[in-house]
């Protein structure tokens, strides 16, 4: 009982020890958690892990992403020892407290993100040792000012700065001391109340500036104007977000700085008619070259006629996307706004619910090289009107994008664009084309055509042979057989291809994408049919992972082929056979049994045959066949003998001994047996009249075996019915197959019954080494038992016969 208790205590101690080890691994010596999600490049992604403290990571880490956790505090020791760290992301943690020296050991840090936390006070001591810091994000924390002294003193390498939030109230002149030039500045100051003029004025050059000034534009235009005056340079790309321009006053912040702006982008902005007219008035004749508006809400009716003399000829690019018109039924026709759109070289009106662009307007667009009206409500009819049907228009146009519209007739499209004699790129993807005419006319300059994500089921010679890039992805195509002599790129992903298109019709094809089809396989010969193919993307297909395909694809994925697989290797997945379904082809290795069954069977059979021959030779050499044969014969004969014994036991009779000896001899020695042995043993001896001897009875196979009986039964019966067994040994005996067989069987029985019943007669000199090794018991008997040698001298023979008679009669009947 005590032993069992000790065992239980030992198991408990082991469990406690393992638990302690596991706890140290999971939580560290000081209770801190551990993050092991680091890749080979020492980038540790510990985001979305629920950490409440900064976890321990390898000190070899180069980047550490701790975003979207629940870390509320960074202590002095949390980041100790991470001198190699170049990126630290603490975004969206609810972080409220950072020790003044928490970042002191991060000498190599180049990027720090503290955005979307709960930092109410920014401490300049955090950045004292971060002399290499280039990117700093402090956005959306509840601080109302940046603090004093300046946070950025000593950050001479800073190139990207983002700060501010809904609680930022003031920016003072000294707040940005130390910041000399920036590639990007982002300031969220929607509720800014105070701004010292010149706060941003010392930062130059200034690459990109993004400002959120919703409140100042509405309630304090002078403050907004002061900010704009400090950041507007001809080289600076200016982005303003979250603006509500409702009236004339709200546009006035641009008045003093608009002449300095070359690139203006508005995000999430609403415009009234009054504000729009005022804005256009400010833009009249200014050197603004690019205007981009994303997320535009028009609250008026488009009555901008008073601005119809606005000179925008310096504007090369106009981009408008995600346009919402609150009262579209009352909104003025776009045809009345030709003065706004006639000068741009690059014009984009995307997702604006545009259903008509007048022919009159497009005729005025004599300088337009790029036109994008995608994701609108254009139909074949309105497109015909926009492109002026058979009249000339847009003669300088190079690129036309009308994707995502309600177009159905490809023949109408080809007819309309034929007159665009300089058109090189045409995008009509995401339309409702479901058929293709047998022939079409296209501009001879057309090089790029995108008809992806339509409903095409077949392609015809309608497609122009001048194409260099053709995109037919995500249709319902099953084959592609067209001759395109100068085609360089062909995109067929998302269709129903069962095999790669033949490469002969595309002698200059360099890139082929055919992902997400129903390809079962492709081979080297398929790729070699393309004369100049360099890049292939064929993942996400239903590959049958045969040995040939796996071997071929392995060579391609390792880059040993002429064609480079450019999509991810994990996208090549087996669909069949079933036991490989879902396995990445790059991870599959089939055995030779699966790949070369005929060869394997042939080699296996050859090896098995060779081994069989070798084993058979070895068994023959070791006489194993003889042993098996004799064992079987002996068992069979013994079973017969046992049956006879049981019969005698049942009848209550004693075993019948009919012979004094069973004689085993060679047929070549039969003359000696018949002429010498039998007469001497079976006839009364009268050589000594005073002591006559009684005759003995011998069992000879020629004479005493019962005819018709199996020889083994005869031998067994003879041995059972004989007191002794006489072996007449000679060279003939050893060499004779039949005699050897008879003797071999006899000695099985003999040596089972006992070695004292055997009598050996050597007719000629014969040593035990002359006896085959398989007769191990006979050889042993010759070594341990005295045997009789047949004398060649006549005078010694009487003594031989007397010794033999004594041996046959036994001790009780020996001659006197």
**Per-residue buried b or exposed e for 578-590, using 16+ beta carbons within 10 Å of the residue's own CB:** eebeeeebbebee
**Contact criterion met (CB below 8 Å) for 356 and 334:** yes
Q: How many CA atoms lie within 13 A of 186 on its CB side?
A: 13
Tens digit of pLDDT for each residue in 736-768? 655 555 555 655 555 555 545 778 888 888 776
**Contact criterion met (CB below 8 Å) for 637 and 713:** yes
Confidence (pLDDT) at 26: 46
The enclosing H or E element of 782 equals helix 776-784
Confidence (pLDDT) at 51: 96
Angle between the N-to-C axes of helices 776-784 and 737-753, in degrees from 0 to 180, rounded to the nearest 10? 70
Confidence (pLDDT) at 741: 58
Query: d(Cα 433, Cα 450) in Å, to the nearest integer?
Result: 12
What does the block give as tokens for 205?
């050059």
Q: How many CA atoms lie within 13 A of 167 on its CB side?
A: 15
Number of neighbours of residue 299 by Cβ within 10 angstroms: 18
**Contact criterion met (CB below 8 Å) for 533 and 563:** yes
Residue range 659-815 in CATH 3.40.50.10140: yes
What does the block give as tokens for 365?
């667009």
Give the Cα-Cα-Cα angle 313, 314, 318 (nearest 5 degrees).
85
Number of neighbours of residue 693 by Cβ within 10 angstroms: 20
Cα distance from N-terminal residue to C-terminal residue, the chain: 80
The pTM score is 0.73
Number of neighbours of residue 47 by Cβ within 10 angstroms: 18
**DSSP class of 685:** B
Mean pLDDT rounded to a whole number for the chain? 86
> 345-476 and 498-601: same fold?
yes
Query: d(Cα 453, Cα 495) in Å, to the nearest integer?
Result: 10
Distances (CA, A) of 192 to 165, 170, 215, 302: 9, 6, 7, 32
**Contact criterion met (CB below 8 Å) for 754 and 690:** no
Query: d(Cα 695, Cα 700) in Å, to the nearest integer?
Result: 16
- What ranges do the domains of the chain cover? 345-476, 498-601, 659-815
Confidence (pLDDT) at 327: 86
Confidence (pLDDT) at 12: 44
Q: What are the phi and psi torsion angles at 740 (to 5°)?
A: -65, -40
Left, alpha or beta for 31 (phi > 0: left; psi -120 to 50: alpha)? left
Q: CATH for 498-601?
A: 3.80.10.10
Alpha-carbon torsion (750, 752, 753, 759), positive or negative: positive
Confidence (pLDDT) at 437: 94
Confidence (pLDDT) at 21: 34
> Of 119, 221, 235, nearest to 181 (Cα)?
235
Confidence (pLDDT) at 637: 61
The pairing of strands 263-271 and 290-298 is parallel
> Of 116, 105, 170, nearest to 140 (Cα)?
116
**Contact criterion met (CB below 8 Å) for 520 and 544:** yes
Confidence (pLDDT) at 334: 57
The 3-class secondary structure across 351-415, one letter per residue, is CCCCCCCCHHHHHHCCCCCEEECCCCCCEHHHHHHHCCCCCCCCCCCCEEECCCCECCCHHHHHH
Residue range 345-476 in CATH 3.80.10.10: yes
Confidence (pLDDT) at 806: 86
Which residues, 6+ apart, have CB-to-CB distance to 709 below 8 Å? 717
Confidence (pLDDT) at 676: 87
Query: d(Cα 814, Cα 596) in Å, to the nearest integer?
Result: 78
Query: d(Cα 441, Cα 546) in Å, to the nearest integer?
Result: 45
> Cα torsion for 304, 308, 314, 316, to the nearest 10°?
60
The enclosing H or E element of 257 equals none
**Contact criterion met (CB below 8 Å) for 548 and 567:** no
Question: How many residues can be counted in the chain?
Answer: 816
Alpha helix stretches (DSSP H) within 112-220 = 214-219
Give the Cα-Cα-Cα angle 307, 313, 317 (nearest 5 degrees).
105
Confidence (pLDDT) at 748: 59
Q: Which residue has the tokens 């991810």?
A: 568
Query: Residue 720, SS3?
Result: helix
What does the block give as tokens for 358?
């007048």
Contacts 24+ apart (CB under 8 A), 34-43: 42/84
What does the block give as tokens for 719?
């041995």
All residue ranges of the chain with pLDDT < 50 are 1-6, 8-9, 11-26, 687-689, 755, 812, 815-816
């Amino acid at each position: 009982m005590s032993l069992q208790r000790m065992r239980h205590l030992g198991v408990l101690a082991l469990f406690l020890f393992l638990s302690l080890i596991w706890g140290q691994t999971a939580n560290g010596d000081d209770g801190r958690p551990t993050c092991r999600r680091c890749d080979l490049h020492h980038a540790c992604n510990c985001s979305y892990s629920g950490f409440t403290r900064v976890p321990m990571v390898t000190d070899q880490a180069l980047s550490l992403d701790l975003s979207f956790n629940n870390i509320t505090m960074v202590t002095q020791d949390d980041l100790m020892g991470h001198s190699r760290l170049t990126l630290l992301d603490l975004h969206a943690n609810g972080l409220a407290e950072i020790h003044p020296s928490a970042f002191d050991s991060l000498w190599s840090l180049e990027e720090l993100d503290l955005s979307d936390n709960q930092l109410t006070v920014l401490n300049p001591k955090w950045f004292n040792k971060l002399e290499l810091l280039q990117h700093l994000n402090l956005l959306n924390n509840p601080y109302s000012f940046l603090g004093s002294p300046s946070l950025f003193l000593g950050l001479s390498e800073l190139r990207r700065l983002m700060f501010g939030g809904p609680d930022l109230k003031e920016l003072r002149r000294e707040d940005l001391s130390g910041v000399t030039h920036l590639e990007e500045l982002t300031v969220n100051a929607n509720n800014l109340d105070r701004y010292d003029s010149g706060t941003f004025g010392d930062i130059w050059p200034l690459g990109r500036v993004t400002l959120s000034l919703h409140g100042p534009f509405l309630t304090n235009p002078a403050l907004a104007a002061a900010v704009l005056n400090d950041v507007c340079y001809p080289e600076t790309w200016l982005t303003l977000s979250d603006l509500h321009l409702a009236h004339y006053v709200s546009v006035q912040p641009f008045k003093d700085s608009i002449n300095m702006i070359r690139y203006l982008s508005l995000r999430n902005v609403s415009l009234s008619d009054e504000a729009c007219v005022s804005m256009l008035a400010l833009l009249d004749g200014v050197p603004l070259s690019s205007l981009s508006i994303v997320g535009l809400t028009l609250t008026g009716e488009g009555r901008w006629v008073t601005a119809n003399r606005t000179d925008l000829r310096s504007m090369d690019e106009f981009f408008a996307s995600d346009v919402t018109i609150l009262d579209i039924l009352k909104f003025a026709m776009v045809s009345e706004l030709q003065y706004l759109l006639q000068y741009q070289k690059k014009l984009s009106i995307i997702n604006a619910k545009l259903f008509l662009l007048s022919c009159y307007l497009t005729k005025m667009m004599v300088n337009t090289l790029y036109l994008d009206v995608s994701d609108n409500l254009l139909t074949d009819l309105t497109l015909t009107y926009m492109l002026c049907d058979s009249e000339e228009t847009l003669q300088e146009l190079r690129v036309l994008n009308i994707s995502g519209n309600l177009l159905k007739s490809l023949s109408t499209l080809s007819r309309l664009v034929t007159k665009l004699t300089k058109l090189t790129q045409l995008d009509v993807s995401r339309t409702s084309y479901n058929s293709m005419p047998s022939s079409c006319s296209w501009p001879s300059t057309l090089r790029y055509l995108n008809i992806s994500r339509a409903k095409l089921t077949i392609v015809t010679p309608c497609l122009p042979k001048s194409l260099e890039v053709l995109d037919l992805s995500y249709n319902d195509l099953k084959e592609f057989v067209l001759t395109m002599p100068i085609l360089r790129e062909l995109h067929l992903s998302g269709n129903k291809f069962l095999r790669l298109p033949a490469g002969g019709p595309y002698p200059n094809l360099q890139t082929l994408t055919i992902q997400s089809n129903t390809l079962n396989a492709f081979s080297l010969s398929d790729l070699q049919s393309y004369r100049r193919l360099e890049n292939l993307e064929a993942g996400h297909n239903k590959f049958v992972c045969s040995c040939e395909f796996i071997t071929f694809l392995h060579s391609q994925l390792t880059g040993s082929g002429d064609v480079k697989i450019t999509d991810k290797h994990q996208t090549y997945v087996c669909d069949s056979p079933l036991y490989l379904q879902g396995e990445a082809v790059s991870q599959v290795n089939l055995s030779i049994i699966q790949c070369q069954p005929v060869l394997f069977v042939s080699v296996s059979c050859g090896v098995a045959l060779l081994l069989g021959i070798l084993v058979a030779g070895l068994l023959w050499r070791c006489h194993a066949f003889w042993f098996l044969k004799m064992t079987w014969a002996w068992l069979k004969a013994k079973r017969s003998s046992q049956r006879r014994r049981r019969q005698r036991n049942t009848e209550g009779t004693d075993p019948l001994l009919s012979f004094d000896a069973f004689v085993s001899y060679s047929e070549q020695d039969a003359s000696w047996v018949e002429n010498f042995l039998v007469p001497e043993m079976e006839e009364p001896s009268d050589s000594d009249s005073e002591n006559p001897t009684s005759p003995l009875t011998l069992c000879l196979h020629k004479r005493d075996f019962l005819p018709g009986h199996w020889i083994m039964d005869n031998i067994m019966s003879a041995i059972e019915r004989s007191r002794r067994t006489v072996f007449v040994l000679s060279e003939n005996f050893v060499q004779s197959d039949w005699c050897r067989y008879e003797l071999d069987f006899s000695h099985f029985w003999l040596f089972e019954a006992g070695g004292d019943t055997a009598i050996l007669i050597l007719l000629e000199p014969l040593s035990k080494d002359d006896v085959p090794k398989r007769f191990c018991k006979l050889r042993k008997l010759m070594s341990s038992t005295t045997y009789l040698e047949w004398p060649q001298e006549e005078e010694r023979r009487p003594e031989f016969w007397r010794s033999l008679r004594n041996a046959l009669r036994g001790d009780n009947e020996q001659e006197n």
